[in-house]
Copies of this chain bind each other. A is one copy, B any other.
Amino acid sequence: MNYTLTPVKLIENWFSERYSDNLQLSFRVRDQLLSVKTDYQRIDIFDTYDFGKLLTIDGTVQMAENDEYIYHEMITMVPFYMAETTPKAALIIGGGDGGAALRLLDLGLERIVNVEIDNHVVELSKRFFPEVAKSFNSPKVELIIGDGIKYMKESKEKFDLMLIDSTDPVGPAEGLFDPAFYRDASRRLNKGGVIVTQSGSPYYQPFALSKAKEGIGSAFSGSMTYVAFIPTYPSGFWSFTMNPSRGRGMGEVKPGRYFNGDVLKGCFSLPEFVKKIID
């Protein structure tokens, strides 16, 4: 009997992120474009059908082309408008994809220092997400490949915004959730400025949120948590934690594709189960 090799491919390729041993979100992918083990972590790039290109670190989704705007708007625009004076200088710890710097440039920041520990994140973003990583071409952005904890301890510069755009509090980012880091940060933050950190999924990672709250709370006499819906992150629900700040009573804010003036007000309204984590 003769068989004919046909070009009909019946095998599907899926990338799955396990949220626990018992739950996973799976993206059908055209291909895995790259996999690299760096000194700090493993980075993979996928070409998904529904969310465009996807960057994962140690198996967890960091950035998807089609919804990165939500995370990046929320980690930049909320602190920008919550600062008590118009921010001019910003520090980003992590953020090697360039997405946070890109939005800060849009918001008119004049100087942005971006300290990313893993040069490979930057290089891969430039290659696979050029529309996001183009921020690194701006003369206003100074990219430092180095340890954000060390930078925060040793730098003499001061900033109006400080964004901790890190991975989760395991591995290289663990120290970015410690009170000692935020005590150093408090000496680098100008009066009326805002420091914010991503603080994980309240549903799956309540420890990330409570650690962020303790770290920021101990250095800044309190903290404020806000939330956003991000479909490609675990549970679809994400938190950010910042120092207490009242904003500067502007009228209209500039809307993004997710962020707007209503979101600025509503994002601090926390469900009861989230309040219980930080109470």
Is A229 an interface residue when CB atoms closer than 8 A count as contact? yes
Is A258 an interface residue when CB atoms closer than 8 A count as contact? yes
From B20, B22, B260, contact of A272 by CB (8 A): B260
Q: Give Cα distance in the complex from A273 to B67, angstroms.
A: 11
How many A residues, CB 8 Å from partner? Answer: 41
Prevailing SS type, chain A contact patch: mixed
Q: Shortest distance in angstroms between A128's beta carbon and chain B's nearest beta carbon? A: 19
From B16, B49, B236, B256, contact of A22 by CB (8 A): B49
Identical chains in the assembly: 2
Q: Give Cα distance in the complex from A237 to B23, angstroms.
A: 17
Q: Contacts A231-B236, A237-B231, A268-B266 known; A50 to B22 CB distance under 8 Å?
A: yes
Interface 9-residue window, one of A24-32, A90-98, A205-213: A24-32
Is A203 an interface residue when CB atoms closer than 8 A count as contact? yes
Q: What residues on B are CB-neighbors of A266 within 8 Å?
A: 265-269
From B229, B258, B263, contact of A236 by CB (8 A): B229
